[in-house]
Amino acid sequence: MKNLLKIKKYRKTKRVLYRRYIVCMIGVLILSVAMGMLVKLNLGAEANATVYTCLSRMFNLSVGSISLFANCVFLIMAFYVDKTKIGLSTFLFLILNKWPVDWVINYFPEFESIWIRCFMVILAVGVTALGSDLLICANTGLTALDAFNVGVSERYNIPYSHVRWSLDGLLLIIAMLLHGKIGIGTLLCFVMIGKCLEFWRKLVEPKVKYWIYEDH
């Protein structure tokens, strides 16, 4: 009887782990697609994506390649600050982020209407928050950039919002110095992602966690 219980517990643990990995991979893919959409729409993107776009023009490399290099740098910084925030999601985003971003930039349709582009930017911001929420549900580590921000916040007892705004502000200054596109998308990313994340956490998170951890 004890052996049977151990087998059932092992199978449940293994099943939960697989489901967490699946949610993690979906979250990484969604984040990558959203980044590519924001870059392609050319109405301004997140501060880090704006810098990546500038550097891609300077060095004649794809945005995905620049993102890969930048995330390696943030990974090293996060490891130095607090390596416990690094996990499967960190490395999956590092490895898989390049190809979806480049694919979306190359093949996502171009819209002439400014209203359609604004709507698509709002959609991309919402999708970004959804991807972040799925990584939170999976609980398999953060992206390199978020791991660094959270690590600094906890290590030095600084509110996360202050750390995030400070780094975003620095990246925006760099983007402006490199003549990057600062637009409505940048503003919406700054203002909306937090609220969108709260929305997805209420709507999606309970269902995803139920699927991951409960027997069906």
Q: What is the CA radius of gyration of the chain?
A: 18
Q: How many Cα atoms are found within 13 Å in the side-chain-facing hemisphere of 49?
A: 30
pLDDT tens for each residue of the chain, 216 residues long: 555 445 555 456 788 888 998 998 899 899 999 989 988 888 888 888 889 989 999 999 898 899 889 999 999 999 999 888 888 888 888 888 888 888 998 988 888 888 999 899 999 989 998 998 898 888 888 889 888 988 888 889 988 778 878 888 898 899 889 988 888 888 888 778 778 888 888 899 899 989 988 765
Of residues 118, 112, 135, 108, the one with CA closest to residue 187 = 118
Contact 99, 68 (CB under 8 A): no
Q: pTM for this structure?
A: 0.82
